A and B are shown apart, each in its own frame.
Chain A
C-alpha cells in the first residue's frame, strides 16, 4: 500500500485553496480492519487525506523548499461514517501562512453535504533538522503530477501552476 489518501486534485490555487477527491473502495484493506464486519473508512485516515491536500498546498507555496509537517489537529468534527462507494471532497483553505508554518481549515463533503470539518496546523521543520530530508524533490514532482495538480492548478497570479524548475532539475 502507498501512503496516498487522496486520489486527485480538482482545484489547486497556490497559497489559497486546494480541493481533492477521495473515492472509497471495498478493495482498500483498512476498511475491513477498523471494525471487522462493518467496513468504514477510519476518520483518522480522512484527516490524513485532508492533511495531504492542505500539506501539499503549503509545500507548493514554499516551492517545496520547506520541510512541512502536520504539527497539530486543532479540532476535527465528523458527522457520519464514510463507507465504500462514497466520494469524499476534501477542501482546504489557508487561513494563515508564514515562514514558520500555516493554519489550514479543512472540510469534507459527501454528496454535497458537510461530512467533516477540521483545523490543521502545519509547521516547517527548521532548527536542528537542516540536514534531514523528508522527501526527495523528485517525489514531490511525481506526487503532484500523479494527483493532477499541474493540470488544474493556478499560480498566485492566476496563471497556470508551473512545475518548479529546481524540481525538474532533480
Chain B
C-alpha cells in the first residue's frame, strides 16, 4: 500500500507530464483548472497517467462527473439544484464541496478540484482495490 507521500509524488509527476507545469506549482492546495491550467481534454491524459502509475481503473466520469454537470435535471439558471449538489457529494466523497454548495454555479465547478482532492481520490481507489 502506497503511503500518502508516495501517492502525492506520483500524482505530481503525472500532473507535471500532463500539464507541463513546474514541480513547485503542484501543491496540495493548487486547483487543477485555475492554478495548473488544466483543460477538459487534459483530464483524459491525467486519468490515463494515474491509471498507469497506480495500476487502477478510473471509469469515465468518476474523477470529474461531467454527466451530472450536464444533466438538465440537476441544473437551474446555471446553478446546480440541491439534488444535484447531493448527487455530486455522493459521487465525489474525496472533494470538499462546502464552498461550491453555497453558490453552486456550474461554471465554477471546473475550478473546484484540487491536487489534495485527487490524492484522496487515488487513496480511496487504492484502499478499495487493496
- What does the 1/0 interface line of B1-37 toward A look like (CB < 8 Å)? 0000000000000000110100000000000000000
Interface assignment of B125: CB less than 8 Å from any CB of chain A: no
A18–chain B nearest beta-carbon distance, Å: 19
A103 to B, closest residue via Cβ: B48
The A-contacting residues of B in range 37-96, CB under 8 angstroms, are 41-42, 44-45, 47-49, 51-52, 60
B44 touches A123 (CB 8 A): yes
Q: How far, in angstroms, from A98 to B50 measured CA to CA in the complex?
A: 13
In the complex, A6→B98 CA distance in Å? 52
Q: Which residues of the partner chain A approach B47 to less than 8 Å between Cβ atoms? A: 100
Does A28 sit at the interface, judged by CB under 8 A? no
A72 near B52 with CB under 8 A, answer no
Using C-beta atoms within 8 Å of the partner chain, give the interface range for chain B. Answer: 10 to 19
Q: Are A74 and B51 in contact (CB under 8 A)?
A: no
The A interface, classified by DSSP as helix, strand, loop or mixed, is: strand
Q: How far apart sit A100 and B59, CA to CA, in the bound complex (Å)? A: 9
B69 to chain A, nearest CB (A): 13
Q: Which among B18, B45, B49 has the highest number of chain A CB atoms within 10 Å?
A: B45
Judged by a CB distance under 8 angstroms, whether A75 is at the interface is yes
Q: Is the CB of B51 within 8 A of A121?
A: no
Residues of chain A with a CB closer than 8 A to B44's CB = 71-72, 100-101, 121, 123
Interface residues in chain B, defined as those with a beta carbon under 8 Å from any beta carbon in chain A: 17-18, 20, 41-42, 44-45, 47-49, 51-52, 60
List 4 additional contacts besides A96-B48, A96-B52; criterion CB under 8 Å: A72-B44, A74-B17, A98-B51, A103-B52
